[in-house]
Amino acid sequence: MKKELAQGEQICPRCLGTGRYSYNQIDGSVCYGCNGKGVTPKLPENTAKTLKLIVKTDRWNKYTFRNGDQLKAKFCNLSEKDQNPIYMVSDKWGRGFKLRLSNIEKNCDIIK
Ligand SMILES: [Zn+2]
């Protein structure tokens, strides 16, 4: 069966579109790459898959991130509204929040 791809989607490279991957007792055989959907958001050109950031604002206290914190960000998907990339930004304890790239650029130094 061939999947219809929406714009900005690609066949999941981990399970090749089946949504199934190696079995484990917690989640069965659901693919972690796509949560069983078989498709993942396509990374646009000129968009980094991962980012390293240093927080440069006190306004991110609401996310538990403090000024000066070094964080990692991983591309999640594109905003449906304006196609701005959305990243999962997480600290060293693994607490994470989905934040838009425009927000990240405004409030962080991005280290390459
Ligand atoms: Zn998959």
- Work out the burial of residue 62: count CB atoms within 10 Å of its CB; fewer than 13 is exposed, 13-18 middle, 19 or more buried: exposed
pLDDT digits (tens, 9 = 90+) for 35-69: 999 999 888 888 999 999 999 999 999 999 999 99
Percent of the chain with pLDDT over 70: 97
Confidence of residue 106 (pLDDT cuts 50, 70, 90): very high
CA distance 50 to 46: 12
> In angstroms, rounded to a whole number, what is the distance separating the alpha carbons of residues 111 and 80?
27
% of the chain at pLDDT higher than 90: 68
Centroid of ligand 1 to alpha carbon of 42 (angstroms): 13
The pLDDT of residue 2: 58
32 alpha carbon – ligand 1 mean position (Å): 6
Measured in whole angstroms, how far is the alpha carbon of residue 112 from the centre of its chain? 17
* CA 10 to centroid of ligand 1, rounded, Å: 10
Contact 18, 34 (CB under 8 A): no
Residue 87 Cα, ligand 1 centroid: separation in angstroms?
A: 19
Do 77 and 86 meet the contact criterion of CB atoms below 8 Å apart?
yes
Of 112, 81, 79, 74, the residue nearest 96 (C-alpha): 74
Domain ranges of the chain: 9-41, 50-111
